[in-house]
């Protein structure tokens, strides 16, 4: 039994050391939109499962750490691929006049590099008709 335990532990260490440390998230990348010489960026993802608050917070924290520029960085998560669309206002990631899009937006993360504003808004069931939970990241 002791030999089996040591073998399993060794196997786990080898597998963990050989792979990528990057966490796999359930959000599927769809497209991005940039402005002002790439200082401002909007990334669009989709996910139709139940949003796990811990997982989406970790996802946003990793994305926040990756974005080093002073401009605006936003993530929008739609429920389904066929409804994912760019906004007419990419700097603020506002979809205010895009009712159809808002009916399929489940979460919006916004980071501003010059003042370190960083906030996640989760909508249940969606941005158009749901409640908003706002979380500082």
Give backbone dihedrals phi and psi of 91, rounded to 5 degrees, phi first. Answer: -60, -45
Model pLDDT, residue 68: 84
- C-alpha span between 70 and 39 (Å, rounded): 7
Model pTM score: 0.82
Model pLDDT, residue 5: 37
Answer yes or no: is pLDDT of 27 > 50: yes
What is the average per-residue pLDDT within 33-43?
85
Residue pLDDT, tens place only, 74-129: 999 999 999 999 988 877 788 988 999 999 999 999 999 889 899 999 999 999 99
What is the token pair recorded at 126?
A: 């969606």
């Amino acid at each position: 039994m002791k030999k089996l335990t040591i073998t399993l532990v060794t196997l786990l260490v080898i597998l963990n050391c050989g792979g990528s440390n990057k966490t796999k998230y359930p959000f599927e990348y769809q497209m991005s939109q940039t402005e002002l010489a790439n200082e401002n960026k909007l990334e669009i993802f989709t996910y139709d499962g139940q949003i796990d608050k811990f997982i989406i917070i970790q996802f946003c924290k990793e994305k926040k750490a990756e974005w080093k520029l002073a401009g605006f960085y936003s993530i929008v998560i739609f429920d389904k691929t066929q409804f994912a669309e760019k906004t007419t206002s990419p700097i603020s990631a506002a979809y205010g006049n895009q009712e159809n899009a808002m009916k399929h937006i489940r979460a919006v993360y916004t980071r501003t590099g010059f003042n370190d504003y960083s906030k996640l808004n989760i909508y249940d069931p969606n941005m158009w008709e749901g409640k908003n939970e706002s979380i500082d990241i």
